[in-house]
């Protein structure tokens, strides 16, 4: 379990670097000395006119010793992308958050990167 937590933290750290470079704010709920949460979590958000727009991301085990980035919210975890490509994961999260903030400018699932 301890190894799995460290591995999840490494994947979340790599994702955090990509997201911070895009200007998103982060809270890392996976550092055991600061936040001894049972499940490693990364909160990604942006403040907008007094309300938060954001997502909570975690890492879950997948087949054959792989793992997936998942979005947590109401209901079951939602698959985002397989771990291993933090840039692609950040692209997907960036698109979703921009759609939440500006739905008419950034259509959901547009997949267009400039």
Q: What φ, ψ does residue 81 adopt, rounded to 5°?
A: -170, 155
Secondary element (H or E) of residue 104: none
Tell me the CB-side half-sphere exposure of residue 2, using CA atoms within 13 A. Answer: 1
% of the chain surpassing 70 pLDDT: 80
DSSP secondary structure, 14-81, as one string: HHHHHHHTTT-EEEEET-TTT---SS-EEEEEEEETTEEEEEEEEEEE-GGG-EEEEEESSSSPEEEE
Predicted confidence at residue 81, as pLDDT, reads 93
Predicted confidence at residue 62, as pLDDT, reads 84
* pLDDT tens by residue, 64-113: 778 999 999 888 999 999 999 999 999 999 998 988 888 877 666 545 54
């Amino acid at each position: 379990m301890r190894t799995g937590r460290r591995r999840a933290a490494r994947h979340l750290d790599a994702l955090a670097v990509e997201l911070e470079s895009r200007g998103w704010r982060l809270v890392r709920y996976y550092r055991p000395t600061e936040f001894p949460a049972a499940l490693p979590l990364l909160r990604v958000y942006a403040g907008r006119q007094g309300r938060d727009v954001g997502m909570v991301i975690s890492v879950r085990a997948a087949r054959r010793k792989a793992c997936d980035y998942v979005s947590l919210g109401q209901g079951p975890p939602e698959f985002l992308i397989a771990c291993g490509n933090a840039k692609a994961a950040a692209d997907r999260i960036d698109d979703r958050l921009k759609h939440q903030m500006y739905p008419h400018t950034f259509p959901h699932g547009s997949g267009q990167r400039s």
